[in-house]
Amino acid sequence: MTPSFLPKDLATINLFKRRTVLIWIILAMAMIGLIVRLVYLQVITAPDLLDKARRQQMFTLRPFIPRRTITDRKGTVLGIDRPVYTLFAYPHLYKKKPEEIAAALAPILRRPNEKLLSVLTRDTTSIQVEYWLSEENADLIYNLRLDGLELIQQRHRLYPQQDLAAELLGYVNVDHRGQAGIELSQEKLLERNDQAPEVAQDGNGKLIPNRIPAGMIRSDRTSLQMTIDSRIQRTARQILKQQMVKFNAKRGSVIVMDVRDGGLLTFVTEPTYDPNRYYESDVKLFKNWAVSDLYEPGSTFKPLNVAIALEAGAIQPDTVLNDEGVLTIGGWPVANFDYEQAGPVGALSIGQILERSSNVGMVHIIQRMKPSVYYGWLERIGLGDISGVDLPSETPSALKPQEQFIEYVIEPATASFGQGFSLTPIQMVQLHGILASGGKLLTPHVVKGLVNEDGEEYYQPKLPTPRQIISSATAQRVVEMMTGVVERGTGKPARIPGYRIAGKTGTAQKASATGGYSAAKITSFVGIFPSKEPRYVVLAVIDEPIGADAFGSTVAAPIVKTVIEDIIVTEGIPPSHPEEVTSKIPTLPELVSPSQPQDTATPAPKISPSPQVTPSR
């Protein structure tokens, strides 16, 4: 009898073999897939995975990195970053009564308990209690160990001198970015280049101490040093404010430039603002008008025209011209400011033309040159260009098109006494720097460079090489003539016994928006000190002073005198004519005499009262 189970067993065995083969095939394919995956991970994507792992294992420390400190030329701090803290409260996390928390915070925040309690009990999940807390106060609050309070660190820019140099410094916004002044124009210099260090962390996110780089505690300790002298800046601001109040003026500016390198010792504009609280100020004040606004300089430009005429060979220092008092040029009358009182003047030397500030005399000087030659010289000294000062938003000076200037004879005539074109106060200082520096065109600047903690120079911005515009001999002759203006002419209110100052007054009509000129005027005085081997150019410009006696000699000259007096004291400059100082010392009877005249026009230091003269344009 044949067994009936054999076919069924063979079928089972064949099925088992097929399944075994299938399993081996699956395992082989899995192994092949695994090998392919490993090759893919270890060879093809290895660099990307390694970078991802490093990013997961490394932590970038972001410490408090402040902007560079700003100082004046003597190290006085003008702007500095400091860490400040904002205090937040979370009512749902309080573990003490709000009354107890308010009582603990009140003496630190210097706020009444009642007001603090009303803040702490607001119906919200998050409350901003106080901002701009100092580190000292933040430490006191932290040590209270009060639940429901949190201190968030932020950066804050502090300007310790408040409005002393706001027009130069500018301010930073809530994002700590410069918005005006050198905070804006020198953003790259003020931002430190410290590198945030990276350290390893374990699987729980804890830092591994032995992996922290030793150099992470090192940082950039340099500061940005300005050319400004805080003492002279303060003096200039005080006297400028006094004169503006006295003559109810719209605005004013005082600028002092060192003619050795173009560094600005003083740059004041009024009105101004406190950069610590810039958000409370009118946005118009953020613009430095002495850099961005144009004005017609008037008679303060006359010395430059004399220098141009001398250099062009149109006149000689001993040239004598006739001053008729009034002229008609191209159908337009041109008269001296005092023509109604003085009438025709007669023969005047070039120096006397400056001393009297004669408009007619200046017209005769410029008429000795071809208009095209004169125009070329105006362009050569920089009209139509900018001064290049390292402050933002400088406006180039404005000069009429050459065709119009040459075609209309009135254009050179009005330009001869400083009208018909416009420039900024900072460029006016630069142009008089040509005379004071021996004929060179300097670049005015307020940034001296970067210095380290020891005051050693670390970096200095590269300035354009000074360009020789006129000869040193011509510049010296014009400065000598300007000295006569202060000694014998319209600039007498700026005279300081024992010292020689070269200067020029200016009182110009303001151009009207509707054409022509308005009744408003702008007064100015420019001084070069000392007149022998000059070192400083000092300019005062007062916009729209009010009063019958508001002229360059009465409004601006006393400002320049006071500033120069402070420079003398600050720099310890001895008198060039000491005999004048000793001769002016009053005797004892004079000191006690009730009839002794009192001088209250300008503040100390004073050596003798300044004589008043009839001002000029």
255 touches 263 (CB < 8 A):
no
Q: Are residues 466 and 366 in the same domain?
A: yes
**Residue 561 falls inside a structural domain:** yes
Domain containing 154 — which CATH number? 3.90.1310.10
Q: Are residues 539 and 404 in the same domain?
A: yes
Domain end position, chosen among 116, 132, 158: 158
Q: Are residues 246 and 124 in the same domain?
A: no
Q: Are residues 353 and 476 in the same domain?
A: yes
How far is Cα 40 from Cα 279, in angstroms, rounded to an integer?
Answer: 59
**Residue 215 falls inside a structural domain:** no
Q: Are residues 302 and 431 in the same domain?
A: yes
**Residue 494 falls inside a structural domain:** yes
pTM: 0.77
Phi and psi (nearest 5°) for 267? -150, 100
Q: What is the predicted pLDDT for the residue at 596?
A: 32
Q: What is the predicted pLDDT for the residue at 614?
A: 33
Domain hosting residue 128, numbered range: 82-158
> What Rg do the C-alpha atoms of the chain give, in angstroms?
38
SS3 of residue 377 by DSSP = helix
Domain end position, chosen among 158, 178, 202: 158
**Residue 468 falls inside a structural domain:** yes
Q: Are residues 437 and 344 in the same domain?
A: yes
Q: Are residues 314 and 432 in the same domain?
A: yes
Extract long-range pairs of 269-274: CB within 8 Å, 24+ residues apart. Answer: 269/167, 270/237, 270/240, 270/241, 270/244, 272/163, 272/166, 272/167, 272/237, 273/163, 273/166, 274/159, 274/162, 274/163, 274/166
Domain end position, chosen among 158, 179, 200: 158
**Residue 239 falls inside a structural domain:** yes
Catalytic residues: 299
pLDDT, averaged in runs of 10, over the chain (617 residues): 57 79 87 85 80 66 72 92 88 89 90 89 88 85 89 86 94 87 91 62 57 48 92 96 95 96 96 91 92 94 96 93 91 87 89 93 95 95 94 94 93 93 96 96 95 84 93 96 93 93 91 76 95 95 92 94 95 89 52 34 32 36
Produce one character per residue of 4-28: b if its CB has 16 or more CB atoms within 10 Å, e if not. eeeeeeeeeeeeeeeeeeeeeeeee
**Residue 94 falls inside a structural domain:** yes
**Residue 300 falls inside a structural domain:** yes
Q: Are residues 145 and 259 in the same domain?
A: no
Q: Are residues 373 and 516 in the same domain?
A: yes
Count the domains in the chain: 2
Q: What is the predicted pLDDT for the residue at 568?
A: 95
**Residue 303 falls inside a structural domain:** yes
Domain containing 474 — which CATH number? 3.40.710.10
